[in-house]
Amino acid sequence: MKKLLAEFIGTLWLVLGGCGSAVLAAGIPDLGIGFAGVALAFGLTVLTGAYALGHISGAHFNPAVSIGLWMGGRFDGKELPGYIVSQVLGGLAGAGLLYLMATGIDSFSLSDGFAANGFGEHSPMGYDMTSALVTEIVMTFMFLIVILGATHKNASPGFAGLAIGLALTLIHLISIPVTNTSVNPARSTSQALFVGDWATGQLWLFWVAPIVGAILAGIVYKYLAPNQD
């Protein structure tokens, strides 16, 4: 239960910090943090969450990460269901808190997107479904390669959280214009369920693509570095 609670809190923090920065701080005229600020915010949530909670649960905060670690031989498959449920619930809790914060101003509207992921007309720059699918697969693949490498027994100790947080920042710098960046089905679900309509209709891609990317990364890294115990 401690592991599951840690995953709940960590995913809540990721959604509140990352999506919160997009909803509350990105668009303020002259003072807004923009895409780069949102990218940094997502990276900082994972970096801080990893050092705060990693020793308890491994700090996955993402169903794709849990699946990729399982495929890479780093995580017991029996724990997958509990982790995924905790991550999704944590994301929903984070989105709920963000909604309560954001509705304190008359100009707020869920129709603005609430940092939900999308493609086509709901992509920040209008990228189509194919671009979104490729982007999410590749970005999640590279995210898991970094995670698996940074947490390997032969990696420099103590720096995994920093590498993983910076990797997520870079991923967002690349892909926010395409999909608003998912690489995390729990983060996508939390925002989509509040927005409804098109966001829930496109949610399938933001489960399928990250999971495919994570599985591929787990297979590849297990081949690259098989002795991980």
Residue corresponding to tokens 């923090």: 13
Query: What local confidence, expressed as pLDDT, does residue 130 receive?
Result: 97
Q: What is the mean pLDDT of residues 77-92?
A: 96
What share of the chain in percent tops pLDDT 90?
85
| Whole-number average pLDDT of the chain | 94
Res. 192: pLDDT tops 70: yes
Query: What local confidence, expressed as pLDDT, does residue 227 receive?
Result: 63
Q: Which domains does the chain have, with CATH numbers?
A: 2-224 (1.20.1080.10)
Q: What is the pLDDT of residues 22-59, one digit of tens each?
A: 999 998 887 889 999 999 999 999 999 999 999 999 99
Distance between CA atoms of residues 114 and 132, nearest Å? 18
Query: What local confidence, expressed as pLDDT, does residue 225 receive?
Result: 85
Residue 169 near residue 39, CB atoms below 8 Å: yes
Alpha carbon separation from 57 to 19, 118, 179, 185, 201 (Å, rounded):
23, 30, 29, 18, 32
Residue 52 near residue 173, CB atoms below 8 Å: no
Global pTM exceeds 0.85: yes
Query: What local confidence, expressed as pLDDT, does residue 30 receive?
Result: 79
Distance between CA atoms of residues 214 and 220, nearest Å? 10
Q: What is the pLDDT of residues 193-216, one digit of tens each?
A: 999 999 999 999 999 999 999 999
Residue corresponding to tokens 């992921």: 117
Query: What local confidence, expressed as pLDDT, does residue 47 receive?
Result: 96
